[in-house]
Structure 1
Amino acid sequence: MNAIIILFLIGVLLLAGEVFVPGAILGIIGGLCMLVGCVLAFVNFGLAGGLIATAVAVVLLGLMLYIELIWLPKTRVGKKLIVQSAVTATSQPPVADLQAVVGKTAEAITPLVPSGYVIVEGRRYEAFSQSGHAPKGAMLRVTGLDNFRLILTKS
């Protein structure tokens, strides 16, 4: 009986520690401790004792999940543990407007071999040179727009 109670307590403590330690290791070990406690209850106390221990384990697991996922985020400590801000920036610059850049002159700010970066009217774009390699500083003409990059030819 003592081993079952100890395993359940260790399982609950490890599940509670899961909140503070990244990764799922403590939660998995805590769940396994509770599972071993249930198996011991079935072995030592038969079907009735095992079912009672399993019911207790399920209630404890549900209580821990409620505390960790519902109650804790509303507390002062929980608010410090949870990231409250959101990233509103984009990871990619906006795609160029086709009518605004076609026919314009572009200056290579990196060597185009055949891809690189150019500046068109003060804005930086990723570009592809149809004419092959172009050195840094080369003046090119915008002829089109691919999915996310400008298509260039030598002027």
Structure 2
Amino acid sequence: MSWYITLLVCGLFLIGIEIFVPGGVLGIFGAAALIGATIIGFNIFPIWGGWLSLFGILCLAGLALFIWFQYFPKSPAGKALSLSQEIGKKDHDEATWEPGMTGTTLCELRPAGKAEVNGKRLDVIADNGTWIAHDTRIEIVRISGNRIYVKEV
């Protein structure tokens, strides 16, 4: 009986530790310990007790998983190990760029490079793949998604 309880506790503990120590080895040992506890349960209990033991182990593992998924992501350790749902930095510039705005190139556009429009630096692409020299006046021709196409003025 003591081996049964030892394997059951160790199996659940090893599977729980597997979350903190990735690699799969501890999880495999934990699963093997639970399988061993199930086999010992069939040997020390009558047949109906063995099935009851198997059902109890499965319910205990399911309950542990449920508790894990409910409470671990909210814990300090879970927050440290998990990716955040929120995006901290804006993924787009809050300035509104419109065709017709003008600026100057900050480097040679071959065909892409940096330009300054309304005092802000931005990545631009020369329209039709043309090469535009450094410090040249440009005009925004069109905007497609996050790409800003310009031409020489």
Gaps of at least 5 residues in structure 1 are none
Match of 2:131 among 130, 133, 151: 133
User: For residues 121 and 2 of structure 1, do their structure 2 counterparts lie closer, same or farther at Cα, with a shift above 3 Å needed?
Assistant: same
TM-score, scaled relative to structure 1? 0.69
Distance 1:58 1:24 in 2: 23
Distance 2:144 2:71 in 1: 50
Residues 17-96 of structure 1 mapped to structure 2, 5 A cutoff: 17-18=17-18, 21=20, 23=22, 25=24, 26-27=26-27, 29-39=29-39, 41-42=41-42, 47-70=47-70, 78=75, 80-83=76-79, 86-94=86-94, 96=96
Deviations along 1:82-119, one digit per CA (max 9) or x if unpaired, are 43974443223247342xxx222222234322122221
Does 1:105 pair with 2:102?
Answer: yes
Gaps of at least 5 residues in structure 2 are none
- Report if the CA contact (8 A) 1:108-1:118 is conserved: yes
User: For residues 136 and 47 of structure 1, do their structure 2 counterparts lie closer, same or farther at Cα, with a shift above 3 Å needed?
Assistant: farther
What is the identity percentage for the equivalent residue pairs of Structure 1 and Structure 2?
21
Distance 1:72 1:142 in 2: 50
TM-score, scaled relative to structure 2? 0.70
Aligned to 2:9: 9
Distance 2:23 2:44 in 1: 30
Shift of 1:57: 0.8
User: For residues 49 and 24 of structure 1, do their structure 2 counterparts lie closer, same or farther at Cα, with a shift above 3 Å needed?
Assistant: farther
Distance 1:3 1:33 in 2: 10
4+ residue stretches of structure 1 with deviation over 6 A?
none
Q: Which moved more, 1:132-141 or 1:31-40?
A: 31-40
Distance 1:81 1:60 in 2: 23
Query: How many residues in Structure 1 have an aligned counterpart in Structure 2?
Result: 147
User: For residues 37 and 137 of structure 1, do their structure 2 counterparts lie closer, same or farther at Cα, with a shift above 3 Å needed?
Assistant: farther
SS of equivalent to 2:38: helix
Distance 1:73 1:148 in 2: 34
Distance 1:71 1:145 in 2: 46
- Report if the CA contact (8 A) 1:15-1:64 is conserved: no
User: For residues 22 and 115 of structure 1, do their structure 2 counterparts lie closer, same or farther at Cα, with a shift above 3 Å needed?
Assistant: farther
SS of equivalent to 1:127: strand
